[in-house]
Structure formats: structure tokens, C-alpha cells
Structure 1
Amino acid sequence: MSAAAVLKNGCRAAALPVALIVLAQVAATVTQLESDSLASPVDIAKAFVSVMGDGTLLKATADTLKAAAAGCLLGVGAGSLLGIVLGLFRIADDVLDLTIELLRPVPVVALIPVVMMLLGFGAEMEIVIIALGMLWPSVVLARAAVKEVEPRLMEVSNVLQLGFAARVWKIVLPAILPQLFMSLKLAAGYALVVAVTVEITANPLGLGYGIMMAQQALRPAEMFAYLIWIGAVGWLISVLLNAAQRTFFPAFVNGEGR
């Protein structure tokens, strides 16, 4: 895609957000907005510059991203390993199927009180909750990916009498790596959502806590600045992971690897 085409697509995508911002500012100016719950785009921009300038926003972002990354990698790693085991061993799949189906629908936010009783407040509690939120989707995706591996490859591993570790490393992982990366990409965005949710409800750290403090102090401009920044961070993560996917798994992105 040419630079001109990229620029054209970018302008087209930005048209609606820019129009909404302009309309919001016009409405705020006409009504002379003074509210404890709403703020004009100009006031939000000023609040953003303020919290960015004093380092508050950057520190909160670092706290949230560290917890989200650690929880995401832990949950996706453990879930993918369990999914591979279930995909390779029918007996294990049958034994654990009911347990997984019972635990999988439990909302991760419902686990916050339980984990808090065990670990208390802090980054460890947040990481564990994020990991639990990533666990079951990763199990399901990895198990399905293993079951779709070319049967002849599995027959070759049986003929060669490969052990579990060798079978996973030489046969299974190369075949399902694109699907595992897709699992990680989906989990990364969800991990940010879970991290902010935990910080709003239970953990006095990060971007979620910043939103709560701004709301309780009746600073709507700052609260919206945090919200918009969270959206921008999530968008940037998605862009980076999409670029990595196009670089390392171009065939899968184009549909040839499915």
C-alpha cells in the first residue's frame, strides 16, 4: 500500500472522531458548560497536558501495563500449555472437560474478592486476576488448534516414537504457532480491560485508580483524559501486535495458513 493510500485511509478513519470532538466543543461553548460530570474537549486536553506533565499519567500507565503484560503472558502461557495437553491426550480432555466448562463462564471480576482474601492488595493480586481471565480462552483456542494439526504429522511423531516434549517442540508448536499468537493478540486487549477494572474496584494503582480519584475529586476533565488515554494505549497495542503478526505470520494473516 502506498503512502498516499495510507494517508487517505487514515484521514477517512479520523474524520468521525474529529467531527465528534468539534461538535462537543461547540456544544460546550454554546451552553457555557459547567458540570461536575462532563467536560469540554479543550478542558480535557488541558487536563491531559497537566497529568502528563507532572508524570502522574505515565506512572499510572507503567503500573497498568506491567500488570497487564505479566498477567497476559502468565495466563496465555499456562492456558496454551494446558490446551496442548488436552489436545494431545483424549483421556485428559474427557476428564477435565466438565471442570473447564464449569469454571470458564465465571466472570473474572467475581474472583476479585477471593484473590484479595488470599493475596491482599497489590500488583500480585492484579496479575493473578488478569492471568485467570486469560487462562480459559487460551485453553480453548490452543486445544482447538492442536486438534486441527495435520493428522499425518501426528502419525510421523508416533512412528518416530517422540516423547511428549519432543512432539510438542518439533511437531505441534510449529503447526499452531500462528494460532497461539492470535490468542496472545486477543488476550492483550482483554488484559488491559481487566487490569483497569481491577484497579477501579480493588487495587489502588494504575490507570483505573487514576479514574476513580479524578471522579471522587469531581475533576471530570481529568477523568475523561484518563479514559481517552486508555483507549489510545489499547489502540497502540493493537497496532503493534497487528504489525508483528503481518511480519512473522503473513500467510496466516492473508488466510493462507488457516
Structure 2
Amino acid sequence: MMASFGGALAGGSAAPRRWPAWAIYLRTMGLFCLLWYVMSWLTPNKLLLPSPIDVASAMRDRIEDGELIANATVSLTRLLISVSIASLIAIPLGLAMGTSRLFEDLLEWPVELLRPIAGIAWIPLALFMFGIGNGLPIFIMVYTAFFPLLLGTAAGVRNVDRRLIAAAKTMGVPRGTLMRHVIVPAALPSIMTSARLAVAASWTAVVAAELVGAPSGLGYAIEYYRSMLDTPSVMTFIIVIGVLGFLCDTALRSLSAALMPWALSEKKR
């Protein structure tokens, strides 16, 4: 009897089964939507907080008339262009700052002076410079993405194991080869992390810039439907902003895993 009781303890009292990730997600979203519905039901003025059903209906309408996809495409295109421009400028400068004391001294003061200034603070001035169109949001997004990429790249280069660099120099490896095959791969985890931060910051900035300085995009759509007092459509575009931001970050994490399989294996240890 004691043996069977011990066996029951050994086999039957295992740790409780964990829910799969998709089930946890559905449970969380279900609770959120239920709370949202109750709060909208308790709100007398539906203009302030429409129900999930009203927002779902508005989302269907915006998809059917093509406005949601068109504005989302415009904003994502601006994001891609801006982050690409910022990367082409910031990553080489970050590599130079991380490997050269002279470059670090030259860029430290301008960077530390401009970095605390939020990108959206430049919107009034950028309106005079670029007017209404693509120039303003792209300028704001490039500015916002530049500093995380610059500082993350420089920090990653500084943290490269000096023994690797010393060994490569001892073997007579040329400077260009040293940069491509030793420094950049070692700094890549920091660069990819800074890229995720840059994309998140730029995605926030594009919405703010489009609110006042663009004739299209998700931010423009939010402002347009706000002026029309169409709160369900406003919330539709807000939800789309969150979903697309999440998908962009997921894509960058997948890219990081593909570029740095060794870093993923180290995390699992």
C-alpha cells in the first residue's frame, strides 16, 4: 500500500501542465475584450469608449474600402525607408566611435546634445523645412532611429573581447578583414538590439509626425476620423498601429535568430 502511495506521489503529483502559448494569449485577449465591453457598457457616452463590437465593425468597413491597408502600407514604407537611411549613417559612425578614440571625442558632445531632444520636438521646424508630405515624417523617423543605432553599435564594438582583436592582429589580419570577420560579428547582438529599439522609436514617431505633417498614413487617418467624431475608426487604426509594431519587432527577433544562431544556443544553456 505504501509502495503504491509512493508511486502515486512520484507519478501523479507531477508539476501541473502549462498552457500552450497560444491558449494563454487567447485567454488574456478574451479577458481584455470582456473588460473592455463592460467598461464601454458602463460609459454613457459611446463616443468616448465604443464597444469591441463597434470597433470590429469599423475595422471591417475600413478593410473593405481599402483605407486601412493603404494607410498601413504608407506608414510601413516610411518606416522601412527611414530605418534604412538611419542604419546607413549610424552603424558606420558607431563602428568608428567604437574603434577610434578620436571619432568618439569628436562625436560625443554633438550626440549628447541632440540625443535628449525628442524627434517630435522638431515637427514645428520641420514643417517649415519640408512642408506637408513624405519629407517631414521621414526626417523625424530618421532622427529618432539614429541615436539608438549609433550608441548601440558603439557600445557593442567596445564590448568586443580584446583578446579576439589581439589574436587577429598577431596573425596579421588586415584592418578591413578584422572589422568584417571579428568586430562586426561580435558586436552584432548589440547592433540588433539597438535596431529593435530604433524601429520601436521610429514607429512611435511616424504616427506623431503623420498627425500634423502628412496627407496619408495611420497617424493621418487617426486625426481625420477624430475630426469626424468616428471613435470606432480611430480605435481601429490605434489597434493596427499596435499590431504592426508587434509584427515588426517579431520580424527583427526572427532576423536576429537567423543571423546569430550562436547567441540563441547560448541563451538555451
TM-score in terms of structure 1 length: 0.87
Picking from 82, 90, 93, the partner of 2:93 is: 82
Q: Does 1:14 align with 2:21?
A: no
Amino acid at match of 1:81: P
Aligned-partner Cα distance in 2 for 1:38–1:138: 38
8 Å CA contact retained: 1:69, 1:191: no
Counterpart in the other structure of 1:95: 106
Change in CA separation of 1:224 and 1:237 when aligned onto 2, cut-off 3 Å:
same
Matches within 5 A, 1:29-108: 29=41, 33-108=44-119
Aligned-partner Cα distance in 1 for 2:40–2:131: 43
Cα deviations across residues 104-133 of structure 1 (Å, max 9, x unaligned)? 111111122233322222112211210111
CA-CA distance at 1:7 after TM superposition: 6.9
Cα deviations across residues 51-99 of structure 1 (Å, max 9, x unaligned)? 0110000000001000011111211331111111011111121222122
Picking from 109, 124, 149, the partner of 1:138 is: 149
Amino acid at match of 2:85: L
Change in CA separation of 1:22 and 1:75 when aligned onto 2, cut-off 3 Å:
same
Aligned-partner Cα distance in 2 for 1:116–1:198: 10
Structure 1 unaligned residues grouped into runs of 5+: none
8 Å CA contact retained: 1:198, 1:208: yes
What SS class does the counterpart of residue 120 from structure 2 fall into? helix
CA-CA distance at 1:252 after TM superposition: 2.0
Picking from 121, 125, 129, the partner of 1:118 is: 129
Aligned-partner Cα distance in 1 for 2:256–2:169: 31
Change in CA separation of 1:90 and 1:200 when aligned onto 2, cut-off 3 Å:
same
Aligned-partner Cα distance in 2 for 1:216–1:194: 21
Aligned-partner Cα distance in 1 for 2:35–2:229: 24
Change in CA separation of 1:46 and 1:77 when aligned onto 2, cut-off 3 Å:
same
8 Å CA contact retained: 1:207, 1:226: yes
Aligned-partner Cα distance in 1 for 2:69–2:212: 21
What SS class does the counterpart of residue 64 from structure 1 fall into? helix
Matches within 5 A, 1:204-223: 204-223=215-234
Counterpart in the other structure of 2:11: none
Aligned-partner Cα distance in 2 for 1:110–1:44: 32
Picking from 25, 49, 55, the partner of 2:37 is: 25
Change in CA separation of 1:241 and 1:6 when aligned onto 2, cut-off 3 Å:
farther
Picking from 174, 188, 196, the partner of 2:185 is: 174
Equivalenced residues, count: 251
Percent of aligned positions that are identical: 24
Change in CA separation of 1:8 and 1:168 when aligned onto 2, cut-off 3 Å:
same
Aligned-partner Cα distance in 2 for 1:37–1:8: 36
8 Å CA contact retained: 2:94, 2:150: yes
Change in CA separation of 1:6 and 1:227 when aligned onto 2, cut-off 3 Å:
farther
Amino acid at match of 1:20: F
Picking from 235, 244, 252, the partner of 1:224 is: 235
* Most deviating of 223-232 and 233-242: 233-242
Tell me which of the two structures has the higher relative contact order, counting C-alpha pairs closer than 8 angstroms and 6 or more residues apart. Answer: 1
Aligned-partner Cα distance in 2 for 1:50–1:107: 35
8 Å CA contact retained: 2:208, 2:219: yes
Structure 2 unaligned residues grouped into runs of 5+: 1-16
Cα deviations across residues 15-35 of structure 1 (Å, max 9, x unaligned)? 23311212332454566x553
Aligned-partner Cα distance in 2 for 1:152–1:195: 42
Amino acid at match of 1:94: D
